[in-house]
Chain A
Amino acid sequence: MAKLLGLRCRECGAEYELQATHVCEMCFGPLDVVYDQAALRKVVSRQRIEQGPASMWRYRDLLPVEDDTPVVTLGEGFTPLVKADRLGAELGLRNLYLKNDSMNPTNSFKDRVVSVAISWARAHGFETIACASTGNLANAVAAYSARAGLECFVFIPVDLEPAKVVSISVFDPNVVAVRGNYDEVNRLCSQLLESTPWAFCNINIRPFYAEGSKTLTFETIEQLGWKLPDEIIIPIASGCQFVRHRQAIRELIDYGLVRDDRVPALTGAQALGCAPVYNAFKSDTPERVLPVKPNTIARSIAIGNPSDGIYVNRIALETGGVVEAVTEDEIVAAMRLLARTEGIFTETAGGVTIGVLAKLARAGRWKGDEVVVAYVTGHGLKTADVLASVDGHARRVEIEPTLKSFREKVNI
């Protein structure tokens, strides 16, 4: 069954054949994959999904890869959804869940989108995979290109965290370190793609890439017993995944996978040091997102000119969610809070999400019984340096290897 019909402009509705392009020639609007929904409605079922692999590919029917296309996979997705009772107790939430996407093969949510993007690109004859990245995407693109045996070019800001550079370089891609911030790297790549026959995961094959994000929400709902939560907290960089989570919920309802049709509140989280979407949300014109120059430790989500910003605000307002932002100190405090209460070490972007969760909870947003889910999208070792630079060792003692020394120094 050919389930993919083509691409369609979200703004003006112009239709295109399936191809590696992301903007409408008529209005510059974004292009999205069009599925044969009538045909899918006949095959998609909870049972078919539950019998699938223990990875995000159990949702293959709802991803832009035809049935006979071999996928490039490292077993991404189907990450743990944990009930966070200890963190919940601190925040007054009795039904708090964390989707721990740092458990992916390259330790961030990006494995989902890259697995889809590279599967599509390989099937359509691309020999070189590229991306503009704040780090996590480059890490996933380098790993999955190695897995697929494809050439790889990753474009990163020159000042990327050392730990991220190591975990990209080990896969032996061509690393282009650009003397500029992510927005400048992105613009360079947007201009480059016209003169290279490459698949830029987050640019010209973005319509396919973006679809991978939906699986995070599909899984969360399945793991909640096919029940929709009351609210989901999502970190905002370009806003791309936020938009896909709204779409994922719509598909779950349309295909009859959930019985409920009460759409959860979708809430966005930004760092105040790079908060263009939050700034617009708080203003009188939430659909006018003005670019900013990023300055935050949450570099994996530091996009100053977020392409999907207006959609984030539209969806947040429509679903009863909000967009909130936290300070640098709140980010670090939230990373520690999550680690101390739940045993999960997240990167700074996860600190933003948990920071916003904590801020909203303490401000009384919830009564206590709501089902709230927070997406933890990357592992703490990626940004361990931010903890090394602050007082992280208050409970550390140094002793001689003797019982006497231990008894003198340690109170038990």
Chain B
Amino acid sequence: MPQFRIPGPLRRLSDGQMTVTVEATDLGSAIDALEQRYPGFKDRLLDQQGELRQFVNVYLNDEDVRLGAGLAAKVSEKDEISIVPAVAGGEPAN
């Protein structure tokens, strides 16, 4: 079953688990499955249009999913899905 790697800032949602295994055939349904098990993830990963948030990078076996099929990317048995916060430095809110 595909496995998520959870970054530090989100581990409070996953009871401290670094990895979470889900049952799914594509990335979108994998995120749904993650949400069902640990509520709160979907909001953090997807925006209101259901697209990946700007500050979230998701890698499927080390490949940025935005360079490929995005949320429609097929996932299978041994796939690893890494969630990595983007490195940004915007301007302070005034």
Interface residues, chain A, with chain B CB atoms under 8 Å away: 8-11, 13, 22-25, 27-30, 32-34, 183-184, 186-187, 190-191, 194, 202-203, 206-207, 209-210, 238, 240, 243-244, 246-247, 250, 289-291, 293, 305, 307-308, 310-311, 315
- CB-based contact A10/B93 at 8 Å: yes
Considering only residues 9-32 of chain B, those with a C-beta below 8 Å from chain A are: 9-10, 12
How many angstroms from the CA of A29 to the CA of B54 in the assembled complex?
9
- CB-based contact A191/B84 at 8 Å: yes
Q: How many residues of B contact A (CB 8 A)?
A: 29
- Shortest Cβ distance from residue B13 to the other chain A in the assembled complex, whole angstroms: 10
Q: From DSSP, what is the main secondary structure of chain A's interface residues?
A: mixed
- CB-based contact B92/A310 at 8 Å: no
Residues of B within 8 A of A202 (CB): 87
Residues of B within 8 A of A194 (CB): 7-8
- CB-based contact B91/A246 at 8 Å: yes
- CB-based contact B64/A240 at 8 Å: no
How many angstroms from the CA of A56 to the CA of B71 in the assembled complex?
45
Query: Contacts A28-B9, A28-B55, A190-B85 given: A305-B92 contact, CB under 8 Å?
Result: no
B52-65 vs A, CB cutoff 8 Å, 1 = contact: the mask equals 01111101001010
Residues of A within 8 A of B64 (CB): 183, 291, 305
Query: Contacts A8-B93, A243-B91 given: A23-B55 contact, CB under 8 Å?
Result: yes
- Shortest Cβ distance from residue A226 to the other chain B in the assembled complex, whole angstroms: 22
- CB-based contact A10/B92 at 8 Å: yes
Residues of A within 8 A of B59 (CB): 187
How many angstroms from the CA of A24 to the CA of B92 in the assembled complex?
13
Q: Which of A24, A32, A191 has a CB less than 8 Å from the CB of B82?
A: A191
